[in-house]
Amino acid sequence: MLIAILDYGSGNLRSAQRALERTGAQVVITADYKTCLEAGGLVVPGVGAFAACMQGLISVRAGDIVDRRLAGGRPVLGICIGMQVLFASGNEHGTMTAGLGQWPGEVTELHADVLPHMGWNTIEAPKNSALFTGVENERFYFVHSYAVNTWDLREEGRLPSAQVTWATYGDRFVAAVENGPLTATQFHPEKSGDAGAHLLANWTRTL
């Protein structure tokens, strides 16, 4: 099974590659349009600012890639900013940037005494989560200052069938989403030790 990690100039992609390879998958880091469309799984990573990540994503036609994959039921996994850009918009320092718009919602700054939220945190996974099977009570590693703190898929007239996992750091925020072929985590599974490795193995088994 080939997994493509979308290379659009954001972040250190090698740690994600190594973590996914440990699940037994063949992994390639690429911006090639055809490879990203046809791979068994696509990972959209991301670190840094929402607006800068969106510029990079636009440059590699990521919106079209994600749309076409999801239309064909082909799995996509967003990680950290790669999750945030799946929402409608991001608001950083008063600047609003359109996201990929797969889900309604606005990425905003967390209300917490110390930012960024950096370190291990527990999560609140739904009972029927496939992604968190076997790691429901584990901690995961977060590095972020922004998040989505509301969820209402019905705003776009879609079926409210997504499984949403939450975490709390000052605000209660969306920590992960499982929505058919589209999955995302606000935390970094590749930096989350054995729990993250187990979660990635859960995801690759769905491909």
Q: d(Cα 164, Cα 174) in Å, to the nearest integer?
A: 7
**Domain-by-domain residue ranges, the chain?**
2-204
pLDDT, tens digit (0-9, with 9 covering 90-100), for 76-107: 999 999 999 999 999 998 899 999 999 999 99
pLDDT of residue 56: 97
Catalytic residue, chosen from 53, 117, 138, 190, is: 190
pLDDT of residue 160: 47
| Ramachandran region, residue 53 (left: φ > 0; alpha: ψ -120 to 50; beta: rest) | alpha
pLDDT, tens digit (0-9, with 9 covering 90-100), for 133-184: 999 999 999 999 999 999 987 644 444 479 999 999 999 999 999 999 999 9
Task: Specify whether the CB–CB gap between 178 and 153 falls below 8 A.
Answer: no
Residue 190 annotated as catalytic: yes
- Cα maximum dimension of the chain: 45
pLDDT of residue 97: 98
pLDDT, tens digit (0-9, with 9 covering 90-100), for 102-144: 999 999 999 999 999 999 999 999 999 999 999 999 999 999 9
Catalytic residue, chosen from 36, 144, 178, 188, is: 188
Report the pLDDT averaged over residues 170-199.
97
Reply yes or no: is the peptide bond before residue 181 cis, omega within 30 of 0. Answer: no
For the chain, percent of residues with pLDDT exceeding 70: 97
Residue 36 annotated as catalytic: no
pTM for this structure? Answer: 0.95
1.10.1060.10, 1.10.630.10, 3.40.50.12780, 3.40.50.880: which CATH number matches 2-204? Answer: 3.40.50.880
Task: Specify whether the CB–CB gap between 85 and 43 falls below 8 A.
Answer: no
Residue 21 annotated as catalytic: no
Q: d(Cα 80, Cα 48) in Å, to the nearest integer?
A: 9
Catalytic residue, chosen from 80, 117, 144, 178, is: 80
**Which positions ≥6 away from 58 have C-beta within 8 Å?**
none
Sheet of strand 103-109: strand arrangement = 95-98, 87-92, 103-109, 146-147
What element of type H or E holds 63?
helix 62-71
Give the distance, in angstroms, between the CA of residue 152 and the centroid of all CA atoms in the same chain: 17
